[in-house]
Amino acid sequence: MRYLKNFGLLLIVTSTLAACQMDDFENDSDVISNDTNAAASKEEANTDSDTETEETAETEHTEAAETAETDQSSDSDAAQPALDDIAAAAADVESYKAELNMSASIDNMEPRELNAEVLYVNSSPPELLLRSFGEDRMVSKDGQSYYNNGSSWVDISDSVDTSLLYKVTYDEAVASFKEIAPHMEKKEEKDKTVYTYNGSNDEIYKTLESLVQVNFGEMKVENVNTTVETVVNEENNLIEEMNFEADGTDAVGTFEFDGTVTFNDFNSVEEVELPDIE
């Protein structure tokens, strides 16, 4: 049905353009038949004017492109020192607490809610305790992983990769921020620096989608609007909060998601304890 609708729209647009071109042609014919010499003089004058207009437009286009390129380069250059400081600070993060709250829906259906609270220790493999809506759901340490099915803890060590248990880690957040930061506006607020982006850049949407691991299945995105806000502590150059939302359309409907991920208790998380298994 959508293809038929687009095809109908194409016919309307094509017919309108054809009608306009026919009107122009008939009007020009009347002028030429009434005064050939005047039309010729007008054409010559128009040719000179068109040439000057084209040269002016080309010059303005070139200057605008150079200005845009310079502005983008300036934004990137301005963001680089902050990115370097944030990346350096991330290397010293040994543990932290993270929380992800998110909702997502397609085709205006009832949104699905997600809550994940994580105690994370940067070891190899990482240690983590994952809670959802206040209940311990998963624990992993020293290569051993257990899942709480609601009645007991189940050993899943041999069936799951620890690195896949929780993907919105601090390192992943920093990596995503580094990709988006050159496109963000920077604002100082007390002891925080707030970076914001709002736009329709597909690559930024894909970066955000990859970070929060939202999965709507196979989609061919037609248009999307994305908003990202990142709050950085000026004193220690650590990301404390990321707020995000995105909505758009694909070939068959609509999609949207929004949420917040926070990081705190840096280097203060005690080691994770495995559950008692009888």
Is residue 151, in this structure, part of any structural domain at all?
yes
Is residue 126, in this structure, part of any structural domain at all?
yes
Is residue 106, in this structure, part of any structural domain at all?
yes
Is residue 94, in this structure, part of any structural domain at all?
yes
For residue 79, what pLDDT band results from cuts at 50, 70 and 90?
low
* Residue 224 in this model has a pLDDT that exceeds 70: yes
Across 47-85, b (16+ Cβ under 10 Å) vs e yields eeeeeeeeeeeeeeeeeeeeeeeeeeeebeeebeebbee
Cα(246)–Cα(205) distance, integer angstroms: 7
Is residue 77, in this structure, part of any structural domain at all?
no
Q: Mean pLDDT of all residues in the chain?
A: 77
% of the chain at pLDDT higher than 70: 69
* Residue 99 in this model has a pLDDT that exceeds 70: yes
Each residue of 163-219: pLDDT tens digit?
788 889 999 999 999 999 999 999 998 899 999 999 999 999 999 999 998 866 666
Is residue 235, in this structure, part of any structural domain at all?
yes
* Residue 20 in this model has a pLDDT that exceeds 90: no
Is residue 157, in this structure, part of any structural domain at all?
yes
Measure the CA dihedral 246/248/250/254, to 10°. 100
Q: Could you give the number of structural domains in the chain?
A: 1
Residues 79, 250: contact at Cβ < 8 Å? Answer: no
* Residue 85 in this model has a pLDDT that exceeds 50: yes
Q: What is the DSSP string of 152-189?
A: SEEE-TTT--GGGS----HHHHHHHHHHHGGGSEEEEE
Q: What is the CATH number of the domain that holds 201?
A: 2.50.20
Neighbours of 97 (CB within 10 A): 16
Cα(127)–Cα(95) distance, integer angstroms: 9
Domain residues for 174?
83-264
* Residue 31: per-residue pLDDT: 35
Cα(242)–Cα(37) distance, integer angstroms: 69
Q: What is the DSSP string of 231-247?
A: EEETTTTEEEEEEEEEE
The position carrying tokens 């993060």 is: 93
Residues 254, 91: contact at Cβ < 8 Å? Answer: no
